[in-house]
């Protein structure tokens, strides 16, 4: 198809609006691209594929995308399209302060406005590290072009002392041993090897979880999510993604909103539970759903978790790294085992249904991927609790927690801030025992700000040395997808906006019941009213992004997006650039 005139009915491609007209704006748009080797000959009605690349020297998880993008471009060209790579913000989980989550929505805005503002008929999103994938999807969903996700892939961790290290999870376990004085190894040895290749964390942390969920949502080519970052098969998959994007652009479908249906979210949640995936995925799925006007509530996660078994034996819920899961058939093999819980008629980027795609899946091996009839656990990896301490809900990753703490009543020990916690948690005089409930507040979306991953509160040194490996912990923070322990997270509303978490005092009793899905503060109402009178109003930052974030961020149970970014139809770009 060529676009030799301005007749849009003859050329439905969106990019034709820029490149087809034989007028002054058309002249400017085409001639502007001469320095990058493009002109009338190439911009002749071929599908234009935008490639949003979150590669950065600051973000080794996504560093492989610098090479992989060349293979995506190769695929685009092979299929007869024109590729435009464009950079976006990159969020490096371990480096950016105060927390990557503070900038997820900013990255989403960057991606959204780049897609909306530039000529492209379809977009390939290149993400990897935790927040980069949801940020890209949120932004793309607000524009609604045909969209395909392709990830950086998991890193290949080294084998040390006979054990495969797994990035974050290995570090958390090592730090606990170090604090307990139970290892003679030193951190230096670990430092030089724990993150030894490009690629995201290699266990089922947030990055692997979000990559896998892209397949369940229908946004990624089946079987591509967990190919290791450095494996040549990922380069081939990148080319396949480029080719698929051209097909989608030619057809003008499926658009991302055609894929992001309520059924697709159900499929993604089922996979999340079967994988024992990251609690962060809950916040991200809630945010993505709001972008497309799907009414997804926290309780839906609990409903699906109650039905879907945990079948993937991967860390931190299980034993293996995700490369083993990939070897066992990857996401399609897990989904195929979950067929009876899935909406198989949900559409995918291939234009085929999820059910059709799963016909090619490997059968579960019964080990890394358990049979649904013989699961690791009969219910999924995450539960949602409500109660007087969390009226709008909180979450607990039961698959990485201690069952003996699931029904627990204990005395609260409250920390006002992460600094107070760091300064006192190892104080030998601290009144704490294994039954104490550790409480951290002012760590939520506004209070953190950005809801940092502080929810795996450290166990006091004295107790670690005595052999205590887990305690009930409660906070309005998040937790790394690679972390573990009986940590009740995302307590909503957060303390900074006056949630009941703000009213807890050291010595109060807190009761957790996983079976009853409850989290309660056992203090009578009159006393809580009295305490509420003494609360001070939270004063947020006044400048720049931090102020905008503070003024507009939604609570955890709503996905922490900005209220000004939730689903609305935007007018198409039709005025001349200028």
Which residue of 3, 47, 90, 93 would you call a contact of Mg ion, by CB under 5 A?
93
Name all contacts of 184-189 with Cβ < 8 Å and 24+ positions apart.
189/160
- Min CB(157)–Mg ion separation in Å: 16
Nearer to ligand FES, 95 or 522 (CB): 95
Which residue of 85, 93, 176, 550 would you call a contact of ligand FES, by CB under 6 A?
93
Nearer to ligand FES, 46 or 320 (CB): 320
Query: Which residues, in sequence order, are bridge partners of residue 519?
Result: 512
Binding to ligand FES by residue 129, rule CB under 6 A?
yes
CB neighbours of 187 closer than 8 A, spacing ≥ 6?
Answer: 174, 178
- Binding segment for ligand FES (CB under 6 A), chosen from 20-28, 200-208, 231-239, 449-457, is 200-208
Sheet of 122-127, strand order:
82-87, 48-53, 122-127, 147-151
- Min CB(465)–ligand FES separation in Å: 29
- Binding segment for ligand FES (CB under 6 A), chosen from 197-205, 238-246, 294-302, 405-413, is 197-205
Cβ-in-10-Å burial (0-12, 13-18, 19+) of 23 comes to exposed
Nearer to Mg ion, 105 or 480 (CB): 480
Q: Hey, what are 46's tokens?
A: 């071929």
- Min CB(207)–ligand FES separation in Å: 4
Task: Choose the one of Mg ion, ligand FES, none that binds residue 333, judging by a C-beta under 5 to 8 angstroms depending on kind.
Answer: none
Binding to ligand FES by residue 201, rule CB under 6 A?
yes
Q: Which residue is nearest to Mg ion (CB)?
A: 480
Which residue of 149, 207, 240, 331 would you call a contact of ligand FES, by CB under 6 A?
207
Which residue of 77, 94, 197, 402 would you call a contact of ligand FES, by CB under 6 A?
94
How far, CA to CA in Å, does 20 sit from each of 49, 83, 113, 251, 289? 16, 17, 22, 18, 35
Give the separation between CA 364 and CA 500, rounded to whole angstroms.
Answer: 45
Task: Choose the one of Mg ion, ligand FES, none that binds residue 250, judging by a C-beta under 5 to 8 angstroms depending on kind.
Answer: none
Nearer to Mg ion, 209 or 480 (CB): 480
Residues 440-469 binding Mg ion (CB under 5 A) are 453
Query: Which residue bears the tokens 């396949």?
Result: 240
CB of 395 within 8 A of CB of 483?
A: no
- Min CB(64)–ligand FES separation in Å: 12
Nearer to ligand FES, 94 or 156 (CB): 94
Nearer to ligand FES, 115 or 211 (CB): 211
CA neighbours closer than 13 Å in the CB half-sphere of residue 90: 24
- Min CB(562)–ligand FES separation in Å: 23
Give SS3 for 314: strand
Nearer to ligand FES, 91 or 298 (CB): 91
- Min CB(169)–ligand FES separation in Å: 10
Task: Choose the one of ligand FES, Mg ion, none that binds residue 561, judging by a C-beta under 5 to 8 angstroms depending on kind.
Answer: none
Q: Hey, what are 350's tokens?
A: 């291939």
Binding mask 51-80 for ligand FES (x = CB under 6 A): ----------x-------------------
Q: Where are the alpha helices (DSSP H) in 394-441?
A: 418-424
Q: Spell 229-242 as b/e; 16+ CB within 10 A means b.
A: bbbeebbebbbbbb
Give the separation between CA 394 and CA 299, rounded to whole angstroms.
Answer: 10
Binding to ligand FES by residue 200, rule CB under 6 A?
yes
189 phi, psi to nearest 5 deg? -65, -40
How big is the site for ligand FES, counted in residues (CB under 6 A)? 11
CB of 200 within 8 A of CB of 154?
A: yes
Binding to ligand FES by residue 130, rule CB under 6 A?
yes
Residues 215-234 binding ligand FES (CB under 6 A) are none
> What angle is formed at CA 204 by the lines to CA 203 and CA 207, rounded to 5 degrees?
95
Binding to Mg ion by residue 480, rule CB under 5 A?
yes
- Binding segment for Mg ion (CB under 5 A), chosen from 86-94, 414-422, 444-452, 528-536, is 86-94
Binding to ligand FES by residue 135, rule CB under 6 A?
no
Binding to ligand FES by residue 453, rule CB under 6 A?
no
Nearer to ligand FES, 60 or 242 (CB): 60
Query: Which residue bears the tokens 């219910």?
Result: 379
Query: Which residue bears the tokens 């748009």?
Result: 29
- Min CB(298)–ligand FES separation in Å: 24
- Please give the DSSP secondary-structure letter assigned to residue 196: -
Question: Kind and range of the H or E element at 141?
Answer: helix 132-141
Nearer to ligand FES, 201 or 474 (CB): 201
Query: Which residues, in sequence order, are bridge partners of residue 59?
Result: none
Give the separation between CA 89 and CA 68, rounded to whole angstroms.
Answer: 18
- Please give the DSSP secondary-structure letter assigned to residue 555: P
Q: Where are the alpha helices (DSSP H) in 338-445?
A: 354-358, 418-424
Binding to ligand FES by residue 134, rule CB under 6 A?
no
- Min CB(129)–ligand FES separation in Å: 3
How big is the site for Mg ion, counted in residues (CB under 5 A)? 3
Where on the phi/psi map is residue 465: left (φ > 0), alpha (ψ -120 to 50), or beta?
alpha
Task: Choose the one of ligand FES, Mg ion, none that binds residue 129, judging by a C-beta under 5 to 8 angstroms depending on kind.
Answer: ligand FES
The 10 Å Cβ neighbour count of residue 523 is: 20
Query: Interface with ligand FES by CB under 6 A: which residues?
Result: 61, 93-94, 129-130, 167-168, 200-201, 205, 207
Query: Interface with Mg ion by CB under 5 A: which residues?
Result: 93, 453, 480
């Amino acid at each position: 198809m060529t676009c030799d005139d301005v007749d849009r009915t003859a050329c439905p491609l969106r990019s034709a609006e820029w490149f087809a007209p034989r007028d002054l704006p058309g002249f400017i748009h085409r001639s502007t691209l001469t320095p990058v080797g493009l002109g009338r000959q190439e911009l002749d009605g071929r599908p234009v594929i935008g490639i949003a690349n979150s590669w950065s020297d600051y973000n080794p998880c996504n560093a492989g995308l610098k090479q992989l993008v060349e293979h995506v471009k190769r695929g685009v060209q092979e299929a007869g399209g024109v590729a435009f790579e464009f950079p976006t913000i990159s969020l490096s989980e371990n480096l950016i302060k105060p927390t990557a989550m503070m900038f997820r929505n900013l990255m989403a805005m960057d991606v959204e406005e780049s897609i909306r503002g530039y000529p492209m008929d379809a977009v390939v999103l290149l993400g990897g590290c935790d927040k980069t994938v949801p940020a890209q999807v949120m932004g793309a969903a607000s524009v609604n072009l045909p969209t395909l996700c392709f990830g950086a892939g998991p890193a290949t961790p080294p084998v040390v002392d006979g054990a495969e290290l797994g990035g974050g999870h290995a570090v958390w376990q090592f730090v606990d041993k170090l604090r307990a004085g139970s290892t003679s190894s030193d951190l230096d040895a670990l430092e030089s090897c724990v993150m030894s290749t490009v690629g995201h964390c290699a266990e089922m942390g947030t990055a692997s979880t979000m990559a896998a969920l892209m397949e369940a949502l229908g946004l990624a080519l089946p079987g591509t999510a967990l190919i290791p970052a450095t494996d040549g098969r990922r380069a081939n998959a990148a080319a396949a993604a480029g080719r698929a994007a051209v097909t989608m652009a030619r057809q003008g479908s499926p658009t991302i909103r055609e894929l992001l249906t309520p059924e697709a979210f159900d499929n993604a949640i089922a996979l999340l539970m079967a994988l024992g995936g990251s609690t962060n995925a809950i916040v991200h799925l809630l945010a993505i759903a709001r972008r497309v006007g799907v009414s997804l509530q926290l309780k839906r996660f609990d409903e699906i978790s109650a039905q879907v078994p945990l079948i993937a034996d991967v860390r931190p819920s299980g034993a293996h790294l995700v490369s083993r899961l990939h070897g066992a058939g990857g996401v399609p093999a897990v989904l195929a085992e979950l067929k009876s819980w899935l909406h198989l008629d949900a559409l995918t980027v291939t234009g085929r249904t999820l059910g059709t795609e799963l016909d090619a899946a490997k059968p579960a091996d019964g080990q890394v991927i358990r049979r649904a009839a013989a699961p690791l656990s009969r219910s999924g990896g995450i539960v949602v609790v409500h109660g007087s301490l969390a009226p709008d809900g909180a979450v607990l990753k039961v698959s990485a927690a201690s069952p003996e703490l699931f029904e627990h009543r204990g005395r609260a020990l409250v920390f006002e801030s992460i600094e107070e916690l760091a300064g006192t948690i190892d104080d030998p005089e601290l009144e704490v025992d294994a039954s104490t409930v550790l409480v951290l507040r002012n760590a939520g979306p506004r209070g953190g700000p950005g809801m940092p991953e502080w929810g795996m509160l450290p166990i006091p040194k004295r107790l670690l040395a005595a052999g205590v490996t887990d305690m009930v912990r409660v906070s309005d923070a998040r937790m790394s997808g690679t972390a573990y322990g009986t940590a009740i997270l995302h307590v909503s509303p957060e303390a900074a906006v006056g949630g009941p978490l703000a009213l807890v005092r050291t010595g109060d009793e807190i009761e957790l019941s996983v079976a009853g899905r409850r989290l309660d503060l056992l203090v009578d109402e009159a006393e809580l009213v009295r305490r509420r009178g003494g609360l001070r109003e939270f004063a947020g930052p006044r400048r720049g992004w931090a102020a905008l974030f503070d003024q507009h961020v939604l609570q955890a149970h709503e996905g922490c997006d900005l209220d000004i970014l939730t689903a609305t139809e935007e007018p198409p770009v039709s005025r001349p650039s200028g």
